[in-house]
Amino acid sequence: MNNNKKLVEAITSMDVDFAQWYTDIVKKAELIEYSSVKGAVILRPYGYALWENIQGYLDKKFKETGHENVYMPMLIPESLLQKEKDHVEGFAPEVAWVTHGGSEPLTERLCIRPTSETLFCEHFANIVQSYNDLPKKYNQWCSVIRWEKTTRPFLRTSEFLWQEGHTIHETAEEAQEETIKMLNVYADMFRDFLAIPVVKGRKTDKEKFAGAEATYTIEALMHDGKALQSGTSHNFGKGFAEAFGIRYTGKDGKLSHVHQTSWGLSTRVIGAIIMVHGDDSGLILPPRVAPTQLMIIPVAQHKEGVLEKAEELRGKLSGVCRVKVDASDKKPGWKFSEYEMKGVPLRLEVGPKDIENNQVVLVRRDTREKMIVSMDDLEARIPALLDEIHDALYEKAVKRQEEMTTTVTTPEEMRDAADNKPGFIKAMWCNELACEEKIKEVYGLSSRCMPFEQEKVADTCICCGKETDTMVYWGKAY
């Protein structure tokens, strides 16, 4: 029991120090290890398995929506990066540069990709001639480098894994449809796979992607009341196409520039899983993304037949869930704490008396509820339980988000909410940059998005009092 106690005590309570709680979990649940490069982390097998499951879900959806995977080089010539003025200005502070090949200085600096728009644009310009070549719908799985000043595992690292989609279209309507469709793919994944509710909306011009005509986002609310931008989809209009000369001959014989989109989601979603669902005992993983959905713990495993029964159950249940047996010589109590900390959705305990009675004990990670279940019912009961856990986690997260969303109509209410009510703040805004910057300066709040589901909570801007119809979600964010 000392080991169990020590293990749980090693995790700082989220109410005492949320940042330390998060750091404790990513380390002790063996998701990451720090590397010798500041801001870069090693994804350990358990952490990488989460990304593999996210990747598997999304890759299937991308292919179902007509996208093909490609791979672009990691290095971008400086001259290429500078072709789109807003884009290069947006990323310049975070770029890592290669200046030498061996000991020889390069004739032109090469940047390690912070994102790949410029490479895709150059490629599209080379391969597109006519309307018959459109649309082109590509996706890339890769890592990118952004030289961040302040880093935290998954949420903001110098190197991270992500996917970036890049598409070109004949018409503005097609590009806009693609932009929203892919945002919805992300939102659906958060709901159906990660059990996380999100707010969908458009970013303000101040917050949009460098070089985009419009940026759309899904915003999730963490346990501490901070927002996490969790996936974005951008409509570039013709801006990049004009800068890079991506033109096609239309059915009318005239040359036109394409309309372009880009959309991306990264390993920061693993941070969202941790901070939306976790508790003071560790991770709570939604079943559909969990690397292991059921852990079988043999009790009194030295006794005859116990390990054999555990293996038999693993074989029987491997067709309905991702299941493992821990047959190590560690004590059952240690194993219970270990897999609780690692967030495994279901634990199955089986010992001599259980075998005698043809039953097992099932324990849910999310509620810690214990159930005695007949061995004959397991193949039907476990998939149903995993679905119940997913739904319960989602409903709990929705309820928390609702409770942590405050509507304000006066500056005094805004002040009170900013100081005393962590979470989303809904307030009207006049669409003027000056007011957005003042809200950031005075209240420490950034605009998270202008939600698709607009709600007129007042008639005037919270900052300047000008009449407006635009409601914005504000908040403190990662």
Predicted confidence at residue 219, as pLDDT, reads 99
pLDDT at 122 over 80: yes
pLDDT of residue 93: 84
Encode pLDDT of 228-261 as tens digits.
Answer: 999 999 999 999 999 999 999 999 999 999 999 9
Rounded to whole angstroms, the Cα distance separating 117 from 262 reads 8
Above pLDDT 90, what percent of the chain?
Answer: 93
Q: What pLDDT sits at residue 65? A: 98
Task: Quote the domain boundaries for residue 53.
Answer: 2-277
Looking at the structure, tell me whether residues 328 and 181 fall in a common domain: no
- Amino acid (one-letter) located at 392: A
Which pLDDT band, with edges at 50, 70 and 90, does 4 fall under?
Answer: very low
What's the total number of domains in the chain? 3
Asked if residue 289 is part of any domain, the answer here is no
Look at residue 334 in the predicted model and tell me its pLDDT.
Answer: 95
Model confidence band, residue 9 (pLDDT cutoffs 50, 70, 90)? low
CATH code for the domain in which residue 119 is found: 3.30.930.10
In this predicted structure, the answer to whether residue 2 has a pLDDT above a threshold of 50 is: no
Buried b / exposed e along 255-294 (16+ C-beta atoms within 10 A): ebbbbbbbbbbbbbbbbbbbbbbbbebbbbbbbbbbbbbb
Q: Are 267 and 201 members of one domain?
A: yes
- What digits encode the pLDDT tens for the residues 389-416? 999 999 999 999 999 999 999 999 999 9
Q: What is the pTM of this model?
A: 0.94
Task: Give residues with Cβ within 8 angstroms of 63, minimum separation 6.
Answer: none
Name the more confident of 91 and 137: 137
What CATH number has the domain bearing residue 317? 3.40.50.800
What percentage of the chain reaches a pLDDT higher than 70? 98
Q: Are residues 28 and 118 in the same domain?
A: yes
Q: Render pLDDT for 41-74 as a digit per residue (tens, 0 to 9).
A: 999 999 999 999 999 999 999 999 999 999 999 9
Distance of alpha carbon 241 from alpha carbon 135, whole angstroms: 14
Dihedral over Cα of 327, 331, 334, 340: its sign = positive
Confidence class for position 319, pLDDT limits 50, 70, 90: very high
Q: Of 61, 55, 56, 57, whose CA–CA distance to 181 is shortest?
A: 61
282 domain-assigned? no
What is the reported pLDDT for 322? 99
